């Protein structure tokens, strides 16, 4: 069992190499072991490219015969953009298949198929770690909506800016670098129009190597300035607005190449549940919200948030702008409790993460 876990750990490390490139597919890693030596490795590098199992089988060649395959996610058993992986596994003569987790996609029956084809098969090795790696994919497959993370950087007393609005920079460069890395790994970054008007952010990954995320701006009345920095790459910008928006301004933005989504109104603003549905249709599987107090409270109240990431700096600001606006909570006993929360140090700051 120890060697099963050890080999699955290696497969997970390989899977992580696909971060930021596989969406809307999952990240998958695979290793092939024979007589306790690794004879083949592979991971899903990019959407549309071969699956991890195929890359590992190609790497192993004839050595795959009578070997054990370790794969972080149940192999596909259906025809999609590529042939079923189970066929190739059987053809290659793999003797045993050890799987990290079941695929949430009901079309995938790889575990059952491989058992039926006479392969020794087991599932659920390092399942918790495998699930965490593909938490966005799992939600997207089950609900056809993106996995939503709220990120905020604040002082110890919960302030994201001073009372004059100064916010650069509360957390250290190490924490900002970590956020840029997350931006490169997730599909999209979302802010409210107030953040654009106040900070004019780039929302890029300047501090790390990686691809820039899609930028989403929630802008109910379409106040977007036509010279905003987020418009530098209009093909990667989505503006969510409502019927209150000026139609000629919508046209102007569309001519620039911006995707303008006109979403129904809820309490005078963009209906966030309907926005998530529309973004799911665009195959956006994960979003990090980097807004201010207004957007943060709106998304939490709307029930679209899955995970919270709070960076705490060892500083105190006093009167200033809070990270989250009014949630209508009047009793401590009714406060929102994070599930499976954990913390770690990043530079001089502390990152607290948990699930709603």
Report CA-CA distances (Å) from 97 to 107, 242, 245. 19, 51, 55
Distance of alpha carbon 130 from alpha carbon 72, whole angstroms = 6
Question: Is there a contact between 104 and 142 (Cβ–Cβ < 8 Å)?
Answer: yes
The tokens of 30 are what? 């695979």
CA 215 from chain centre, in angstroms, equals 14
Question: Is there a contact between 170 and 155 (Cβ–Cβ < 8 Å)?
Answer: yes
Tell me which of 9, 16, 49, 53 is the catalytic residue: 53
> Helix, strand, or coil here: 94?
coil
**Which distant-in-sequence residues (6+ apart) come within 8 Å of 119 by Cβ?**
89, 90, 94, 95, 96, 97
The tokens of 91 are what? 């053809």
Listed residue (272, 273, 246) closest to 260, CA to CA: 246
Question: Is there a contact between 233 and 263 (Cβ–Cβ < 8 Å)?
Answer: no
Listed residue (169, 263, 174, 179) closest to 216, CA to CA: 263
Question: What DSSP letter does each residue of 24-75 carry, written as one string?
Answer: TSPP-EEEEEETTEEEEEEE--STTSPPHHHHHHHHHGGGGTT-EEEEEEPP
Q: Taking CA 54 as the corner, what is the angle to CA 51 and CA 55, rounded to the nearest 5 degrees?
A: 85
Q: Exposed e or buried b for every residue in 68-98, given b needs 16+ CB within 10 A? A: bbbbbbbbbbeeeeeebbbebbbebebeebb
User: Which residues are 96's β-sheet partners?
Assistant: 68, 120
109 is catalytic: no
Residues involved in catalysis: 53
């Amino acid at each position: 069992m120890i060697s099963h876990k050890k080999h699955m750990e290696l497969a997970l490390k390989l899977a992580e190499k696909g971060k930021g490139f596989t969406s809307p597919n999952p990240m998958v890693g695979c290793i092939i072991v024979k007589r306790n030596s690794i004879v083949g490795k592979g991971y899903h590098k990019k959407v549309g490219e071969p699956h991890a199992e195929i890359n590992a089988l190609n790497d192993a060649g004839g050595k795959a015969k009578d070997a054990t395959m370790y794969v972080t996610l149940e192999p596909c058993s259906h025809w999609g953009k590529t042939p079923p992986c189970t066929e190739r596994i059987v053809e290659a003569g793999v003797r045993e298949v050890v799987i990290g987790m079941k695929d949430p996609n009901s079309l995938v029956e790889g575990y059952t198929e491989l058992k039926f084809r006479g392969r020794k098969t087991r599932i659920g090795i390092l399942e918790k770690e495998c699930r965490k790696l593909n938490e966005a994919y799992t939600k997207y497959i089950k609900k056809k909506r993106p996995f939503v993370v709220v990120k905020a950087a604040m002082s110890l007393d919960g302030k994201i800016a001073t009372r004059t609005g100064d916010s650069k920079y509360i957390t250290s460069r190490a924490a900002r670098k970590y956020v840029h890395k997350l931006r490169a790994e997730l599909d999209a970054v979302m802010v409210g129009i107030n953040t654009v008007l106040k900070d004019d952010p780039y929302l890029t990954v300047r501090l790390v190597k990686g691809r820039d995320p899609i930028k989403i701006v929630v802008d109910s009345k379409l106040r977007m300035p036509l010279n905003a920095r987020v418009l530098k790459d209009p093909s990667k910008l989505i503006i969510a607005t409502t019927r209150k928006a000026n139609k000629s301004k919508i046209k102007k933005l569309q001519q620039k190449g911006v995707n303008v989504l006109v979403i129904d109104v809820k309490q005078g603003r963009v209906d966030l549940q309907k926005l998530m549905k529309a973004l799911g249709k665009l195959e956006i599987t994960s979003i990090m919200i980097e807004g201010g107090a207004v957007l943060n409270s709106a998304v939490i109240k709307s029930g679209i948030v899955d995970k919270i990431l709070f960076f705490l700096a060892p500083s105190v600001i006093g009167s200033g702008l809070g990270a989250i606006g009014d949630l209508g909570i009047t009793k401590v006993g009714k406060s929102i409790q994070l599930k499976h929360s954990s913390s770690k140090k990043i530079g001089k700051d502390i990152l607290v993460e948990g699930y709603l």
